[in-house]
A and B are shown apart, each in its own frame.
Chain A
Amino acid sequence: MICKCQAGNRGNTGFDSLICQRHYSEPLFRKSFMSKQLDLLDIQGHVLRAYGRFSYPKARYVFLNIRHSGRARRFVDAITQRVTTAVCWGKGPNDMPPPEWAVNIAFTYQGLKELELPRASLIGFSPEFVEGMKHRKDILGDDGPSAPEHWDPIWRDNRETRDKDVHIFIALNALAPVKSESALTDIQQAMAQCDVFLEQAYAWLLDEVKKSEAGVVILGGNRGDDGALLDYQEVKVVMENGMPTAKEHFGYTDGIGDPVFEGVPYDEARVRGRGKQMADGSWAPLATGEFLLGHIDEAQEYPPAPRPILLARNGTYMVYRKLHENVASFDKYLRQEGQKYPGGEELLAAKFVGRWRDNGAPLVSAPDAESKKKFDEKFAQASLAEQDRMLSDFTYDNDMSGAKCPFSAHLRRINPRASLEMGRDPGDIPGSYKTITGAFDTPGALSNRRRILRRGLPYGEVKDRSRDDGNHGIIIMMLNADINRQFEFVQQQWVNYGNDFKAGNDKEIILGNHSHDPRFASKAVLQVDPASEEVPYILSNIPRFVETRGGEYFFIPSMTALRMIARGVIDPT
């Protein structure tokens, strides 16, 4: 069912999952009765594909303001003709090849209003989507340096005056057509070609904007290098020695554990560690309705969605966030604590996230230097598919006390798998937890409804690691059927608070909104085996490593909904 390249392996380069060249022609639609196959041609490509993994290492995100509803609908129609769907790519005569540049589009609530969706449809969108990210800052913990007044002008001015409201999001992702992954010159050539494609894509978009006769205008105000304000947000993979990597600016490999859900043909072999953990030790894909509207979710219900169903079905919500990375603070804190931490600096870095920085090895599989060495030996010998399994296929079942992967590590907080079903009996060793049974239907009952698809790429370059204030960070886009239940819950309860993990108010180490105020200093506990003689290590005065620089909530319509929006035929009756 799956071509090798889409098995989603990530080794040391970001290009190990290159173009879908060896893809065989697989069923586009329902082939087998009773197994769910999505209408891939109706779903925008951005929803099912993290383009970075598919050899699209650079992208531009463009934001527009609608000035004339009718002309804006014609603009949406023109863009829709070129939108990239989630169709399977291949190189056969009947296959759809991967496009040189991919186009995807999404709308804010204000944008849908300007496109004149009927009121009866608009009221069906969720309250948090209507309100927008800026006004959810208290829930999201966007305070201090992350507060909206410090955001990029485009986001700071959004939802203040009508002419500066962000209405439309357009993503242009450019392909790097690599022939061979080993030759440096090939990769350099591909990256240069990628720049050409990106410029072509942008020129096409500018032309369409022009053709709209001021029906839409591009909003500037995206901060770039040296404080420059750009008409787009540029993103690209982080390069190391001329090679693209899958890393972000702190040096971690990003995006390994994206959820796998029912009906995505190119994800079927990736379900272990990415779907939901079952009682018998197997893994199953999550219900489609956790990520796409109009499909049954983990509660066996259709998620709340606007009417008519054709407006919502195969669409989803997207959380766009620009996150600045304070690389100097991070390096300094890691060095300072690494000198004291018994396991050394690199293990400490792994403890922050739950994965080792060099190859992404999960701490639960490689908790110390010795086991890491063995992991690396096996990893080096493994096939791409096997490597992928080594990175994703693990549980916290043998780490319920957090001795390997800390409770406040990024990985565990974002996707706790079965580890929240934790408890202890009287008389158990202090600090020890075990899996409790009987209370829940499945091991993942507490986390299966909090999963989020993650998209996006890093932005900027770190030119001086001794400074925090350069132009560097990541653009993360999180896709889910219910922003409040999924993204906002994770952000509020699991990133900025720790009670569900029996970690009091300890925040997630990397993303937490750690306070600069010494009275509210952040800490995190790095647990050890409760039965051992070792003592836990407490990280104290954690600085804020990541600051929000803007963002908004968007709706990504299906292709059907896009056509209907463009025609102005959304009819909720």
Chain B
Amino acid sequence: MSNVAGNAYGLSILSPIKNGRVPGKEIAYADLVRDQLQAWNSEFNSPMALVPQTYLCRFYVLDDVVTESLPGGSFPDTWSDVLPVVPDSLRRDVMPKQDRLQSRYLVFCCNFYAGPAGTPDAYLRGMWEAINGRIHDIWDNCYGFENIHHASDFITYMKKCQVTTSLYFNGSTDQPLEEQLKALYMKQEFTKFAIENQGLSATAIRANYRAFMLRTQLNDLQMPSWQPGQYRL
């Protein structure tokens, strides 16, 4: 499956946001979604930090498709280049018109540890259990979400909105999150250790290393380690 790479899963969700205005307010559903998501910036941590096994994720509101240039290259277009008698108006007439989206979309891209199962179900269940209140805040502005009350509904809804992709954020392996965070912690601590011990005698280094291993507890994935979502020391 294209959205599985080893034990990692690349989930891409496009949920159509309701058109129109939030009742009683002068704000569109899509603008409200964006405003709420931007407010996450001001919180101590993203609510997504509470969702187990999240490597990296990203939310945004897709307003419309972006035009790269005037489309061209069709059959009469080419002919008008080589045969000047083919009128320019003909060439223009056959060019495709600009496409538009019929609604704005909430885009949720997420990479996480799916394990050997290779499905998003367990992750989505974990997401629902951890932050279903926050999920409602955002997804209630999307079509059809009013009937979502349980984890299983949520999994079904999200799968309906899923786009199969093979896009991955660079920067993580496919190990469980705890493994990766511990590895990151160990790498940083060991670098510090190397700097601090540079030029010391072998005896001193050996003694310091024993203390280092005792302090860092290589096999304990929980402590000490980086915590999910943590970006401050």
The residues of A with any CB-CB pair to B shorter than 8 Å are: 28-30, 33-36, 39, 41-42, 84-85, 87, 94, 96, 296, 300, 302, 310, 313, 441, 559-560, 563-564, 567, 569
Contact = CB atoms under 8 A, between A and B. Distances in A.
A560 B34 contact: yes
Contact of B31 (A84, A300, A560): A560
Interface string B91-105: 000000111111110
Contacts of A39: 28, 30-31, 63, 104
A310 B101 CA distance: 18
Contacts of A28: 19-21, 28
B26 A85 contact: yes
Contacts of A563: 35, 38
A560 B21 CA distance: 14
A564 B42 CA distance: 12
B7 to A, nearest CB: 30
A30 B101 contact: yes
A30 B38 contact: no
A564 B20 CA distance: 21
Contact of A42 (B31, B39, B97, B98): B31
Interface of B: 19-21, 23, 26-28, 30-31, 34-35, 38-39, 41-42, 63, 67, 69-70, 88, 97-104
B38 A567 contact: yes
Contacts of B26: 41, 84-85, 87, 96
B169 to A, nearest CB: 16
Contact of A29 (B20, B38, B42): B20
Contacts of A30: 19, 100-103
A42 B104 CA distance: 13
A304 to B, nearest CB: 15
B27 A559 contact: yes
A310 B98 CA distance: 21
21 contacts: A29-B19, A30-B19, A30-B100, A30-B102, A34-B98, A34-B99, A34-B100, A36-B98, A39-B31, A41-B21, A41-B26, A41-B28, A41-B31, A42-B28, A84-B26, A87-B21, A296-B67, A300-B69, A313-B63, A567-B38, A569-B38
A110 B68 CA distance: 33
Contacts of B42: 567, 569
Nearest to B97: A34
Nearest to B101: A30
A300 B38 contact: no
Contacts of B30: 39
Contacts of A42: 28, 31
Contact of A296 (B31, B63, B98, B102): B98
Query: Which 6 pairs across A and B sit closest by C-beta, in order of nearness?
Result: A29-B19, A41-B28, A28-B20, A300-B70, A569-B41, A563-B35
Contact of B100 (A33, A567, A569): A33
Contacts of A84: 26
Nearest to A87: B26
Given A85-B26, A87-B26, A94-B23, A29 B103 contact: yes
A48 B41 CA distance: 31
Contacts of A310: 34
B100 A36 contact: yes
Contacts of A35: 100
B98 A559 contact: no
A22 B38 CA distance: 38
Nearest to A37: B100
B102 A33 contact: yes
A300 B26 CA distance: 31
Contacts of A96: 21, 26
Nearest to B60: A310
Given A35-B100, A84-B26, A302-B67, 5 more contacts: A30-B19, A30-B103, A39-B30, A39-B31, A41-B28
B73 to A, nearest CB: 15
B38 A564 contact: yes
A36 B98 CA distance: 9
A280 to B, nearest CB: 10
A94 B41 CA distance: 33
Nearest to B67: A296
Contacts of B70: 300
A284 to B, nearest CB: 13
Contacts of B35: 560, 563
Contacts of A441: 88
